[in-house]
Structure 1
């Protein structure tokens, strides 16, 4: 008996020790647990000894269940899955939209090539443009060719002398004086609008280039060539003639060619960095032509993919980069994004081709002197005007447009016939337009109050004009589908009012920043205006059109570049159109001797070499 009790005691002690080792509190014995009595959890326990019962210790406890995972991990995982789901839904919706569109209605012939577009507004404009152009060509063929007269290839008569004019050999490297002038012009006119360079840091490179331009690395050399191209683009022809004896267009072509050669030497498609992207941004903007928007859009696609490859679509804070590098990456990405949005809309595409997921934030409102490469503290925006104020507001405007549903906006702008009589269908586009206007007024208005002051300088005046300009453009584009007047007349009226507003804005802009309108001008604007002259019988409307064309020829020097065949062709058509206008005024007894616009006189002088003796020499030339 004593031996059995001794065995039970040893077992109890071993269990107690085991429970102590595991760090778990021992449980009550089996008898106490069944009788619901208090157990001192010592084996044998006191209650069992007093009741003379055998104290049976419980078996080993089952293993504890694993602790439940933190709910924050599940929330994070759920958020990632929802993000992926939204991306997939966006792709599927885009595919469904592409499938739902009628393929024949998405193609338009621009020249000899059929081009795809998503925007019905753009397709309508292209069809109108093709119709007008064909009518003008047919009329030109019926009237016969122009008489072959001697062209006045004289430097005093030609606005743009040909390359054969002996002005001295064209330089392959800008002189120190020319480089200083172009760099100063760049800082005054380009940097406030496109602040993708950090001027205090890049000044060292420019100073070195003054003395030894040839020794620079190919990428840096290409960047300097592109800076020279942008500076030249911002000059008017008269301004550039005051600082150089060469022709502006010749020098832009030369610097652009040198820039491309330097990029090829650097093998830029394989070896690219932020300087390469800066160079391509400047080169793309300075090389835009009057004709084809698709060329700029295709070229800019390479730039977008380079930016994607460098990771600019993700904010630099995600990569633990230095604050200075984070800020400069933001500036380059947002300028790339803004250009891509502009090129896509000009090509009739409602959605720019961008990475499906990007997180790069808008740059801060700061001065370049407050940034340096070794800074540790994060960059913070300052209140009041700064070097990047216009850039910040332009980026915010681009962000608002990217967040908008352009398909619904376009329905609101065109007032599609299929939505007439359907209140629900009309409410969606109208709500999209109202939401866009509200966002622009709230967000850009807030930035205006924080960063802009009316008398701070011309660039801040231009920044203050962003919000009313965007709202005015969309408001003007709200074309009502009138069953009486028809879509064509309403479209032409809206086009005329929009171009008049553009010219008003251009003439109010400081001369340093008028290049922002020059690089976006296209020749099809003139074709549309000439088409209005052919199709409209309202004398007041026709008079407004002629006044607008005179303003266009006054404000855009590219229309006087007769080395471009398309520009010369348009000038010939304008001269024919004025002959018809003069005959109409005489036949209607409105004017016995119609007053010929000054720009028409200048066109006749340059194209036909006709000397006009009825007016003085100052009245013949506009430039």
Structure 2
């Protein structure tokens, strides 16, 4: 009968040194066999025997040093110099000297401590990288036993859904804990969306490396329920951008559903995925790529200040990952360095425009020095791969990066001007200060210098038959025209009477060219796939100047051409231009109607035949008629609720609900009196009014922000003060920087 004899329990051997993996990672090892760190990461634990101690050097060299030291001290005494009083000898050395100046072998000789300078370093872990850039963290960096624990505890995929509310700002994206596997489209649709992204979006963003991402997408499709949370956020962001780049008819043809349904669906899914990936505390490049693409997908629909704030969040995340320093300085691989440069530059360029749309200074906080990440390399994705031993050789010819290279060239040029201005004794250069400069020769010289740089580096190599290169050609012409318009901005003049005729014609020619270039970018069949990127960069000051000129001079020589371009602008951006949520579009629409009404009246006075009104004019008028009807209904309800049996409204109630839409209100405004409610938002409402006002009686009053848009639509009194003289650019600046109350994306 065989019996099993249990083997005696052999306790794990404890070594006197760390295992190979813990030693390489510079983390603490418990020195067990195997160690807990290797067990936790499911890797082989290997212990190599410690190296034999180095042999001590012979004492012959020390004796030689002592002999020379004694001889030098004797020579000093011959010169009447006491070696103990020589400057530079520390107190510790003095204490170690004997009375005759010789070193006492029984006492240690202390050396002066050496000062150390902390250098930035990256903590690299499974979830990404985090920059350590101060001496506080440098003291604990080497003591961290697990990088993931130091950067946030559990990894994003191991954390439970409920934990997201405790250690991340998930309320920003209105996150709901549920699985997203069912939100992914079928595999065939994912392939279609991915291909659309590659053709329409990737050439203008270059945030991802296509060859490596292609294989990852294919793998994700086969096991969609096992996709890591960060990569899932990137997939949904790609879906959103792909749908955004399609027109309504293209969306139905390619995907089979309406664009108005698909885009909100994938934007919402991206929000949820980003929150599940804990984007606010993430150090993952993939999560940051998803966040940047998400911001681009919502920038046209959400309130500009919310987009700018969320862009600031992305900037902080990137800075925490060390992206404000060039990857080569941090010892990163050439491949990762290049990807980080692309992300950093794209994020900064978006931040500049987002700030501008919020009324903030452009380029004010941008610095370009030896530590700033270099511009992305002018190379194709096929020349980059993760294991590349050295950076790819840049091409002097156009590559896939030409659009991003061209845009970064504009930023570098602006940064150079900012750095140059103090040396010339000028003010620090920003977009506003550039406009305010009186020296047109200096500003025109800037534009000419920029044209020469762009022509030399890019335009002379561009082939108009290639869509992306044609886009660069148009974009370059548009950019230089835009800078010229800013240099010669009409706000430089107090009234139209002071503007020389030649200057009026020059500025008019520039703004007409701008509208032509915007129209071509959106209407050309060759550039149609890139049209989604144009609305965000439309120069509204140029549009306002054209409409104001047509209002003041309805029968301008170029009025027919100008109205055709305005019609193209409304046709190509109907969802944007007819938006009733943002004051800027409502205000532009009001100015457009005033200009069109002036044209109708001028043609009628000359007995000229006038064709029927364009469709966008009809829609603008219907919007305003509808707003008037809604306001009348609101006023009636307030009257009935206040005094149902009397036509007289108490003074306090009338002041709360009253909007200046009568002739008496207009007269008061012309006489210099301010109306009760200012459409520019100067009157405090909501939370600020609650604590800044002396009384709290208005706490239950009607929210005037909700009435603001209808008030603008129903009455154009705020435009009546133009009087044909000159447009109030300060008023329009307020509209440009004033948004709606949409929730933050």
Matches within 5 A, 1:337-352: 337-346=348-357, 347-352=359-364
1:369 lines up with 2:382 in the alignment = yes
Matches within 5 A, 1:33-72: none
Deviates more, 1:329-338 or 1:362-371: 362-371
Aligned mate of 1:387, from 375, 379, 400: 400
Distance apart, 1:336 and its partner CA: 0.9
- Give the RMSD, CA atoms, in angstroms: 4.3
Distance apart, 1:224 and its partner CA: 0.9
Distance apart, 1:513 and its partner CA: 1.4
1:257 lines up with 2:273 in the alignment = no
1:178 corresponds in structure 2 to 189
Q: Is the 8 A contact 2:207 2:342 kept in 1?
A: yes
Per-residue displacement from partner, 1:388-432 (whole Å, max 9, x unpaired)?
23222222222212332396575786465xx5xxxxxx3xx7435
Matches within 5 A, 1:35-114: none
1:485 lines up with 2:508 in the alignment = no
Matches within 5 A, 1:12-31: 22=67
Q: Is the 8 A contact 2:550 2:556 kept in 1?
A: no
Structure-2 change in CA distance of 1:563 and 1:219 (3 Å): farther
Q: Counterparts of 2:301 and 2:536 in 1: how far apart (Å)?
A: 9
1:302 corresponds in structure 2 to 313
Structure-2 change in CA distance of 1:176 and 1:309 (3 Å): same
Q: Counterparts of 2:296 and 2:471 in 1: how far apart (Å)?
A: 19
Q: Number of matched residues?
A: 451
Matches within 5 A, 1:532-551: 532-540=549-557, 542-551=559-568
Aligned mate of 2:203, from 177, 186, 192: 192
Matches within 5 A, 1:513-528: 513-521=530-538
**Structure 2, gaps ≥5 residues long:** 1-62, 89-115, 120-181, 419-426, 627-745
Per-residue displacement from partner, 1:470-507 (whole Å, max 9, x unpaired)?
22222233327567634699598465553344324544
Deviates more, 1:284-293 or 1:266-275: 284-293
1:502 corresponds in structure 2 to 518
Per-residue displacement from partner, 1:542-575 (whole Å, max 9, x unpaired)?
4344222211123224247668687689768856
Structure-2 change in CA distance of 1:447 and 1:548 (3 Å): closer
Structure-2 change in CA distance of 1:66 and 1:208 (3 Å): farther
Q: Counterparts of 2:227 and 2:207 in 1: how far apart (Å)?
A: 20
Aligned mate of 1:326, from 337, 357, 365: 337
Distance apart, 1:299 and its partner CA: 1.6
Deviates more, 1:251-260 or 1:482-491: 482-491
Q: Counterparts of 1:439 and 1:492 in 2: how far apart (Å)?
A: 19
Structure 2 counterpart SS, 1:311: coil
Q: Is the 8 A contact 1:350 1:407 kept in 2?
A: no
Structure-2 change in CA distance of 1:19 and 1:193 (3 Å): closer
Structure 2 counterpart SS, 1:269: helix
Distance apart, 1:599 and its partner CA: 4.8
Give TM-score, length-normalised by structure 2. Answer: 0.53
**Higher RCO, 1 vs 2 (CA within 8 Å, ≥6 residues apart):** 1
Per-residue displacement from partner, 1:179-207 (whole Å, max 9, x unpaired)?
11110011112111211111111112211
Matches within 5 A, 1:222-621: 222-289=233-300, 292-346=303-357, 347-354=359-366, 358-405=371-418, 408=429, 414=435, 419=438, 426=439, 430-431=441-442, 433-435=444-446, 437-442=448-453, 445-448=456-459, 452-454=461-463, 457-479=466-488, 481=492, 485-486=497-498, 493=508, 495=511, 498-508=514-524, 510-521=527-538, 530-540=547-557, 542-559=559-576, 578=596, 581-589=599-607, 591-597=608-614, 599-600=616-617
**Structure 1, gaps ≥5 residues long:** 1-17, 31-56, 68-76, 81-170, 420-425, 610-623
Q: Counterparts of 2:339 and 2:236 in 1: how far apart (Å)?
A: 21
Q: Counterparts of 2:586 and 2:78 in 1: how far apart (Å)?
A: 105
Q: Is the 8 A contact 1:290 1:523 kept in 2?
A: no
Q: Counterparts of 2:299 and 2:389 in 1: how far apart (Å)?
A: 40
Q: Is the 8 A contact 1:412 1:478 kept in 2?
A: no
Structure 1 counterpart SS, 2:316: helix
Q: Is the 8 A contact 1:412 1:433 kept in 2?
A: no
